[in-house]
Amino acid sequence: MKTSIIGYPRIGNLRELKFASEKYFRGEITAAELEKIAKEIRLYNLNLQDKSGLDFIPSNDFSFYDGVLDTAFLLNVVPERYTALGLSKLDTYFAAARGYQGEKGDVKAFAMKKWYNTNYHYMVPEIDDSTEIKLVGTKPFELFSETLGSGVKTKPVIIGAYTFLKLARYKGNKKAVDFIESIAFAYSELLKKFRDLGAEWIQFDEPSLVMDMNADDIQLFKVLYEKILSNKGNINVLVQTYFGDVRDCYKELCKLDFDGIGLDFTEGKRSLELLKENGFPDGKTLFAGVVNGKNIWCNNYASTLIKLSELEKLAHDIVINTSCSLLHVPCTLANETKLEERFKKHFAYAEEKLSELAELKKITGSNCPSETEEYRRNAALHSEPRSGGNENVRKKVATLTEKDFIRLPEFAEREKIQKKKFKLPLFPTTTIGSFPQTADVKAKRSAYRKGEISDSDYDFFIEKKIAECVALQEEIGLDVLVHGEFERNDMVEYFGECLDGYLFTEKAWVQSYGTRCVKPPVIWGDISRAKPITVKWSTYAQSLTEKPMKGMLTGPVTILNWSFPREDITLRESALQIALAIREEVLDLEANGISIIQVDEAALREKLPLRRSDWREDYLDWAIPAFRYVHSGVKPETQIHTHMCYSEFADIIKDIDDMDADVITFEASRSDMTILDVLKENNFRTEVGPGVYDIHSPRVPSKDEIKAAISKMRERINDEKLWINPDCGLKTRGNEETVPSLKNLVNAAKEERYENS
């Protein structure tokens, strides 16, 4: 059997691309220097994959920001507001990615959304009635030629036409079907160009095929590919799916003239069943996703071999593949110098997954697979008992009952009590928690981690930052203050460090969006709170001000979703274990005089199963209760806030209300505030702070822009329930943008208040 991967991380082993891009944004290096670093990363990755013996090596999986954005530029789907700036090609691209504010104009970035059920974000292409889809870009061809130049014939990877049309937002009257002709023509051209360049295989990524598809969707997919494949000539086309199974279109998929079909046998609950029921077409290659591309645990060869031998009965030509792009795992274990060997030997990042593919290839090629040394080593590893159990925690989770998940008194009663207690003005202003993590904060933390400064020096520094932050917020005139989260590198890792059962990595960075990376901690054992987490910082911050200081915690679902999870217990069980620990922290904060506590569930929407029929049972039925358990024990007058990133929760709006928080803040500015209608229609009970400006972009919103946003909100949300805040934490921004933005925000709220009294 041959081996393949769907894509490789492009950020660089030590995030070289991130640092270079950020230098470029600051004007510290030239475009040519940035291109040079990018090329070095690509060639390094290429060489690594080639040396590992991988048969199908992807190209064009590289991107300066995002693959969907690249595809939009490839297909001429670039709104005029960016091209009109008259910037260079690269800068036009970055303007669309990050927004642009400078001498040539002022434009917002493309909207950004979560990539299926991952923590990666893609840029949403915008299509209007004047959009003319045609092949105008050259990047995939250049990158293919670059690899040819190194003596490797790669498999170019392109987002497929169906997925592209499904991900786009349509701003005019035209819909996806109106672009069938033009996009099919563009993809046929693309195939032709690759053929001329000598490519043998091309991979079209079609993850949208694992979503619920209705008859129109299936028809769209079919028509598109009948056209695209009608004169593909002698190039082999692989349609690659991931993140689930293709139950709605498997039959059509098999009938179309693809040469390879890539299916996910890791997350695809029904993939195997589909093959068993319907067979697999003769003459086509099955790219079998059996090595998990999302988690960091070593593959279990014994169970993979069982899967593969089942598949061999159904398909004649099988390529061993990862379940999705390796973009979602860190690059290499080589830089994990601190992780103890007894843990590390259970880990496999992208580079190690290449070795796993090579070993699986060797094992499956052997006459006696279970006799191979690789197999035996792997079997021995997986038969070792895992450490890290905590009977107490398991028992507590097992004995939770219905009433543990109910906070009393009920919402309306609490709302009255809290209004009386806090006496906040109309349209209270607040922030989501973090303030800019400036260079001094990062430098101090890094020095502290290296042991260069003492605990007390570090604490002193954090206290100084908190004091500055509190003073700044008072000066700006915000109503509910935060301590600024300077002690945190990351909203999950920081909590994980104070919980037993977690493991930490040093350099296990995974791209989240653009140049942003996250370093998810690893759940190894049963979770419990080892020590108070935030109490010292929050109480210190509260001691500096008369205004309410929000305690700031990360919720159980987000902690779980942004960690690498265990595979030996259920996600439900892990979530409840974490909920137990965070509840202790909530009660501790309350006991120490913190009267408003925000429990962030930034990632709650993220792991919602892609198919509606799986939502309840596989997710909401435990995720919402886990959140409720965290705060069900507080007093009526303690105000519980939550925050969610991205407002794509229209379809679970009742469940969000059912989290039973007192206030929720979320992103709305990037989504044209459509969420507001949904709140109104559903009679949303929780008080809301739909972000009034987008913090993911370095631009400063004007006061009038914010007032316009507030007016829009007031059309749909009762004044008594409306909070005014940015749409997310400010840690990725600089003070230059943050201070004027918040001043404009507070002034906008004050004017609204004044005009209303």
**Contact yes or no for 188/228 (Cβ under 8 A):** yes
Instruction: Name which of 397 and 518 has its Cβ closer to Zn ion.
Output: 518
Q: Please identify which of the residues 483, 631, 641, 696 carries the catalytic annotation.
A: 696
**Contact yes or no for 372/305 (Cβ under 8 A):** no
Alpha-carbon distance 563 to 548, whole Å?
31
# residues near Zn ion by CB under 5 A: 3
Alpha-carbon distance 696 to 726, whole Å?
10
Angle formed at CA 405 by CA 403 and CA 408, multiple of 5 degrees: 75
Instruction: Work out whether 518 is an interface residue with Zn ion (CB under 5 A).
Output: no
**Which residues are within 8 A (CB) of 33 and not within 5 positions of it... i.e. 6 or more apart?**
20, 24
Q: Which residues, listed in sequence order, are joined to residue 320 by a DSSP beta bridge?
A: 3, 288
| Residue 433 binding result from ligand GLN, Zn ion, none, given CB thresholds of 5 to 8 Å by partner type | ligand GLN
| Residue 607 binding result from ligand GLN, Zn ion, none, given CB thresholds of 5 to 8 Å by partner type | none
| Residue 329 binding result from Zn ion, ligand GLN, none, given CB thresholds of 5 to 8 Å by partner type | none
Instruction: Name which of 70 and 662 has its Cβ closer to ligand GLN.
Output: 662
**Which residues are within 8 A (CB) of 210 and not within 5 positions of it... i.e. 6 or more apart?**
116, 241, 242, 243, 244, 245, 246, 264, 268, 610, 611
Residue number with the shortest CB distance to ligand GLN?
729
The distance in angstroms from the start CA to the end CA of the chain is 74
Instruction: Work out whether 730 is an interface residue with Zn ion (CB under 5 A).
Output: no
When binding is defined by CB under 6 A, the residue of 112, 360, 469, 728 that contacts ligand GLN is: 728
User: Minimum Å distance from CB 90 to Zn ion?
Assistant: 29
**Which residues are within 8 A (CB) of 143 and not within 5 positions of it... i.e. 6 or more apart?**
42, 59, 60, 62, 156
Stretch that binds Zn ion, among 76-84, 196-204, 574-582, 727-735 (CB under 5 A): 727-735
What does residue 101 show for φ and ψ, rounded to 5 degrees? -140, 110
**Contact yes or no for 684/670 (Cβ under 8 A):** no
Q: Which tokens hold the place of 135?
A: 């092949």
| Residue 690 binding result from ligand GLN, Zn ion, none, given CB thresholds of 5 to 8 Å by partner type | none
Alpha-carbon distance 14 to 10, whole Å?
11
Residues 424-443 that bind ligand GLN (CB under 6 A): 432-434
Residue 725: closest CA among 684, 664, 671, 676: 664
User: Which amino acid, 462?
Assistant: I
Site string for Zn ion, 632-651 (x = CB under 5 A): -------------x------
Site string for Zn ion, 596-615 (x = CB under 5 A): ------x-------------
Q: Which tokens hold the place of 235?
A: 């190039």
Instruction: Work out whether 600 is an interface residue with ligand GLN (CB under 6 A).
Output: yes
**Contact yes or no for 24/34 (Cβ under 8 A):** yes
| Residue 552 binding result from ligand GLN, Zn ion, none, given CB thresholds of 5 to 8 Å by partner type | ligand GLN
| Residue 415 binding result from ligand GLN, Zn ion, none, given CB thresholds of 5 to 8 Å by partner type | none
# residues near ligand GLN by CB under 6 A: 13
In our burial notation (b when 16+ CB lie closer than 10 A, e otherwise), range 13-28 reads bebebbebbeebbeee
Alpha carbon separation from 19 to 30, 96, 272 (Å, rounded): 13, 20, 42
Instruction: Work out whether 57 is an interface residue with Zn ion (CB under 5 A).
Output: no
**Which residues are within 8 A (CB) of 95 and not within 5 positions of it... i.e. 6 or more apart?**
82, 85, 87, 107, 109
When binding is defined by CB under 6 A, the residue of 393, 602, 604, 679 that contacts ligand GLN is: 602
> How do beta strands 169-170 and 201-205 pair?
unpaired
Residues 626-645 that bind ligand GLN (CB under 6 A): 643, 645
Instruction: Work out whether 91 is an interface residue with ligand GLN (CB under 6 A).
Output: no
Q: What is the DSSP string of 78-141?
A: --HHHHTT---HHHHHHHHHH-EEETTEEEPPPPEEE-TTSS-EEEPPEE-TT--------HHH
Q: Which tokens hold the place of 460?
A: 């002193």
Instruction: Name which of 199 and 432 has its Cβ closer to ligand GLN.
Output: 432
Instruction: Work out whether 462 is an interface residue with Zn ion (CB under 5 A).
Output: no
Instruction: Work out whether 726 is an interface residue with ligand GLN (CB under 6 A).
Output: no
Q: Is 685 exposed, middle or buried (0-12, 13-18, 19+ CB in 10 A)?
A: middle
User: Which amino acid, 545?
Assistant: T
User: Minimum Å distance from CB 752 to ligand GLN?
Assistant: 24
User: Minimum Å distance from CB 600 to ligand GLN?
Assistant: 5
Instruction: Work out whether 519 is an interface residue with ligand GLN (CB under 6 A).
Output: no
Instruction: Name which of 147 and 511 has its Cβ closer to ligand GLN.
Output: 511
Instruction: Name which of 645 and 700 has its Cβ closer to ligand GLN.
Output: 645
User: Minimum Å distance from CB 598 to ligand GLN?
Assistant: 7
The question of whether 696 is a catalytic residue gets the answer: yes
User: Minimum Å distance from CB 561 to ligand GLN?
Assistant: 11
Task: Give the length of the chain.
Answer: 757
User: Minimum Å distance from CB 645 to ligand GLN?
Assistant: 5
Residues 476-515 that bind ligand GLN (CB under 6 A): 485, 491
User: Minimum Å distance from CB 603 to ligand GLN?
Assistant: 8
When binding is defined by CB under 5 A, the residue of 522, 608, 728, 748 that contacts Zn ion is: 728
When binding is defined by CB under 6 A, the residue of 731, 733, 744, 749 that contacts ligand GLN is: 731
User: Minimum Å distance from CB 434 to ligand GLN?
Assistant: 3
Instruction: Name which of 433 and 689 has its Cβ closer to ligand GLN.
Output: 433
Q: Is the dihedral of CA 93, 94, 97, 98 positive or negative?
A: negative
Instruction: Name which of 109 and 645 has its Cβ closer to Zn ion.
Output: 645
| Residue 600 binding result from ligand GLN, Zn ion, none, given CB thresholds of 5 to 8 Å by partner type | ligand GLN
Instruction: Name which of 57 and 491 has its Cβ closer to ligand GLN.
Output: 491
Q: Is 347 helix (H, G, I), strand (E, B) or coil?
A: strand
Q: Residues in the site for ligand GLN, rule: CB under 6 A?
A: 432-434, 485, 491, 552, 600, 602, 643, 645, 728-729, 731
Q: Which residues bind Zn ion (CB under 5 A)?
A: 602, 645, 728
Catalytic positions, please?
Answer: 696
